[in-house]
Amino acid sequence: MEKRCLSQRIVFAGIEKNLMNWIYCIQMKPSRFLAVLSIILIFCLSGYALSDVLCGEATCSSEERCCNGVCYHPILANCVTDMITGKEVICDRPHTACCDGTCFNPVNSRCAIDSGTNASVICPSDKDAVCNGTCYSSISLSCVEDVLLGTYQLCHRNEFCYNGSCYLSSRYQYLYPAGNETPVLCKRGEILCNGECFDPKYHTCFSETGREDVICKKGDLLCGTTCYNPSLYRCVKDKATKEPAICKLNQESCEGVCYHPAFYDCSCNTGGSACELVRRNT
């Protein structure tokens, strides 16, 4: 009876149970049945146990998995590919993505590259870009280089950055003076004269060899480095200094003083080192 009981219970790769025989065995030989049952359990457990897994220089248990030479438990962590480095890394759940060594949840975050520093940054899912550490939406904003400082700053689209401030491109521009790499901020329609902005509709740039360019009102003329209205004044050579001077119409200049030649003379000594106004005899 004992042989019949055992022959019906032990089979390949585990045990095919026969419930009626087990009950019979328990009734007839309970001590023998318990011994056989213990042997069956040992065979079953050893047959279904997973083998240890080699993981680089480490050995993972049957419950662990291997990720780039490191063991991890799949219930507690994930093995993911870093979006920046391309390497496999272990991230604790619920993180299922990695951005340059930092794990994150792609449900509410994303990995972006900073346009200003070229560093990787994790941003909220509604921000798709980064500018100097600040996450932003590229739908309405842009990360632009400051044309004067060379740094990066957030501006609205169709704007540029100059000296830390944003300017609308349709209203402002930046121009480079001749021979100078430093840009100058001007309004649209303006041009440069000696590094200064002016509107050619209302002003004129006078340029003379050996002198700095000078901006004058439209219709004015230049005398030396000074603008004047030709309908009220004229440019004369000073009798004493020989430098240009601005005087009223029909007047002359003597030592920087304008006078009417009908009433005064500019009298100078023989060497011309000293001059003075002398009243004419009338």
- Residue 37: inside a domain, yes or no? yes
Tens of pLDDT along 47-75? 434 567 899 888 999 899 999 999 999 99
Give the pLDDT confidence score for residue 46 in this predicted structure: 44
Query: Per the structure, how many domains does the chain have?
Result: 2
**How many other C-beta atoms lie within 10 A of the C-beta of residue 248?**
11
Helix axis angle for 19-28 and 30-48, nearest 10°, is 140
d(CA 160, CA 143): 9
Query: For residues 55-84, b (16+ Cβ closer than 10 Å) or e, as one string?
Result: beeeebeeebbbbeebbbeeeebbbbebbe
How much is the mean pLDDT over the chain? 84
Model confidence at 38, pLDDT cuts 50, 70, 90, reads low
Instruction: Say if 31 falls within a structural domain.
Output: yes
Specify the amino acid at residue 242: K
- Per the CB < 8 A criterion, the answer to whether 215 and 226 are in contact is no
Note down the domain range covering 265: 232-282
The CA-based angle 270-273-274, given to 5 degrees, is 90
pTM: 0.61
Q: H helices of the chain, where?
A: 2-7, 19-28, 30-48
Which tokens go with 264? 């005064």
**Considering the chain, what percentage of its residues have pLDDT values greater than 90?**
65
Specify if 237 maps to a domain.
yes
For the residues of 61-117, what is the DSSP string, one character each?
-TT-EEETTEEE-TTTEEEEEBTTT--EEEEETT--EEETTEEE-TTTEEEEEBTTT
pLDDT tens digits for range 120-172: 999 999 999 999 999 999 999 999 999 999 999 999 999 999 999 999 999 99
139 in any annotated domain: no
Query: Whose CA is closest to 142, among 172, 116, 110, 111?
Result: 116
Residue 40 covered by a domain: yes
Say if 149 falls within a structural domain.
Answer: no
Q: Is 22 inside any structural domain? A: yes
**Residue 158 maps to a domain:** no
